[in-house]
Amino acid sequence: MALFFATILGAQPKATTGQDTLFFQNFESAVDPGQQMRAFPSGHDEEWVNYDADGADGLCISGPDGPPTGWFWESDLSTNEPNDNYAFTSCSWLDRPVRTMNWLITPPIFIPDDEQTLFWRSLSLQGPAYHDGYKVLVSTGSNIPESEAFADTLFQQAEMIAYSNNTSLNPADFLFSNGYIHAKTYTDTAFFFLDTFVDNNQQFPFLHGRLEPHSVSLEKYAGNWVFIAFLHDSRDDYMVQVDDITVLKRQLVSAQTPDFIRQFELFPNPSSGEAWVYWSTQHTVPNRFFIANSQGQVVWTYIPDGLHSGTQQMLLPTLPTGVYRCVLQTPLGTTSKTLLVQSRP
């Protein structure tokens, strides 16, 4: 693989990056970013790869060009209302009885040290019935799945495989494969809501997933180039989405940060147009985010409504270029990070 590494040594991932952000892809674009993705991996591609290995048509959504295959660009399914956020989506309800094998593979990313963390958000649209599973996999060599290069599993979400009552909202009435179940097995109400679908003029309830943040350390891969793959491999469930895929240098909290605040990340940084903040606290308490300029004036505020963790988008197009302070304020302590806002290119 020496030639491969020499070839990509100077390559940069096709994504927005910043000072502490190695890789950032939120799928926001004026056109479908899937149009720039390769349909098949060749082993060392520097572009995203959207590989439909099962070859079956999805029945979840129909479009002017027919049913989608592989991963496809779709608005955020966290809500039934129209919205401007977009994510990449995959369907496991197929036109023939095969397991979905949809691979979404990043360009190569160099992991310089053991302080890097992978962040992303995901949802299973339906649950607990037809809860979709997927895996996050890593390869340090080829990006061809059939070569068995993706040998390391970073994260596994369970899929529903059987039920005693498919209209139940109790996860105990379902059998799941090994892995994580969305929203902490549907106990974290920040990441799902009660919804209904109609079949044969009858309404059926289900738990509708919202995009939920996840993170995992990449310290094992320090000093290596990696491909990261999101593999949707459910069978006859429904839909899954992924968004805001980020590789970020984890910043150690300062001595002034209270123990109550587990994590506070800001990316990309420097930023232009938009940035994202990820936070986690030990317990659910009222908290508040704000951005202050160099004169101490508050220019943006967000109140998470009692959530103890999450990811929030910050739109910055109206802010002048400069240095700002992003603050997480809680009744049990406060922490902050410096944010550099740059003009749009």
β 116-124/212-217 pair status: antiparallel
Amino acid 53 reads: A
Helix (H) or strand (E) holding 20: none
Token match 């992003």: residue? 326
Low-confidence ranges of the chain (pLDDT < 50): 1-18, 252-255
Contacts of 103 (CB under 8 A, 6+ apart): 41, 49, 50, 51, 52, 53, 70, 145, 229, 230, 231
C-alpha Rg value of the chain to the nearest Å:
21
Token match 């970013």: residue? 33
β 102-105/192-199 pair status: unpaired
Amino acid 1 reads: M
DSSP string, 148-180: T---EEEEEE--EEEES-TT---GGGEEE-SSB
> Exposed/middle/buried for 281, CB within 10 Å: 0-12, 13-18, 19+?
buried
Which pTM was predicted? Answer: 0.78
Whole-angstrom distance, CA of residue 46 vs CA of residue 246: 17
pLDDT tens-place string over residues 256-301: 556 677 778 887 777 877 788 888 777 777 778 888 888 888 888 8
Whole-number pLDDT of residue 115: 84
Report whether 311 contacts 215 (CB < 8 A): no
pLDDT tens-place string over residues 43-94: 999 999 999 999 998 888 876 666 677 999 999 999 898 888 899 999 999 9
Report whether 328 contacts 261 (CB < 8 A): yes
Whole-number pLDDT of residue 233: 97
Whole-number pLDDT of residue 327: 87
